[in-house]
Amino acid sequence: MAATAGPILVVNPNSTVAVTEGIDRALDDLRGPETPEIRCLTLAEGPPGIETQAHIDGVVAPLCRLASGLEDEAGAFVIACFSDPALAELRVASARPVFGIAESAYRQAAAGPGRFGILSIVEASVGRHRRYLERMGLLAALAGDRPVEMAVEALADDPEASLARMTDVGRLVVEQDGADALVLGCTSMAPFKEALAEALGVPVIEPSQAAVSDALAALS
């Protein structure tokens, strides 16, 4: 892999710095002396959490402006929001590879031996996920999608309660829906990957890791 490639810029489109820090820590296992730098950024103009269609639509223009200003130095862009806002727009505007974390996570999960489930942030996300999977031709691989019904800020602020709630809902996805793997449907869930995998006994896919892995492969 070429160490001279520009950095992989992982952009969190919400303005909660604690979420960016959690993503950054989750990517430590992918860093190495022979790989491009992985740099995590926070979109200051974004909402505290991206939970509605209005939030998604509202970050498209700021994301495009940010990426335009970083185009010359970037090796690749990763949009670190599970709604993949501005993915299509950035792929048109940028000469760099652009990855959406949901798209990468879905492809990784669908390549597994069984069906996968999604741990969503709120009920309103479930329909968006299903429509996205249908467009990708992967809806048949979905076992179930259940929301934890916690705000992004709450997940970051109260880790003990967040893990308990995610474990309870994740158990329903595994035991009742029949999921053989679990996709984390929000970047604020990144710090809980290992604990959830241990508690639930199935592989847990953290989408930022999936997308950065794809970016590293593209730059190799």
Q: Stretch 178-185: mean pLDDT, rounded?
A: 97
Query: Which tens digit of pLDDT belongs to each residue from 39-63?
Result: 999 999 999 888 888 999 999 999 9
Q: Is 26 in contact with 9 (CB distance < 8 Å)?
A: no
Task: Please report, rounded to a whole number, the percentage of residues in the chain having pLDDT higher than 70.
Answer: 98
**pLDDT score of 113 more than 70:** yes
Distance CA 87, CA 63 (A): 10
Asked whether the domain spanning 103-206 has the same topology as the one spanning 8-101+208-219, the reply is yes
CATH number of 103-206: 3.40.50.12500
Q: What is the number of other CB atoms lying within 10 angstroms of the CB of residue 111?
A: 10
Topology annotation, domain 8-101+208-219:
Rossmann fold (3.40.50)
Query: Which tens digit of pLDDT belongs to each residue from 197-209?
Result: 999 999 999 999 9
**pLDDT score of 185 more than 50:** yes
Instruction: Quote the mean pLDDT of the chain.
Output: 94
Select from 117, 129, 100, 127 the least CA-distant residue to 200.
117
Q: 37-51 burial string, b = 16+ CB within 10 Å, else e?
A: ebbbbbbeebbebbb
Verdict on whether the full-model pTM lies above 0.85: yes
Q: At what angle do helices 207-219 and 17-26 cross, to 10 degrees?
A: 60
Domain regions of the chain by residue span: 8-101+208-219, 103-206
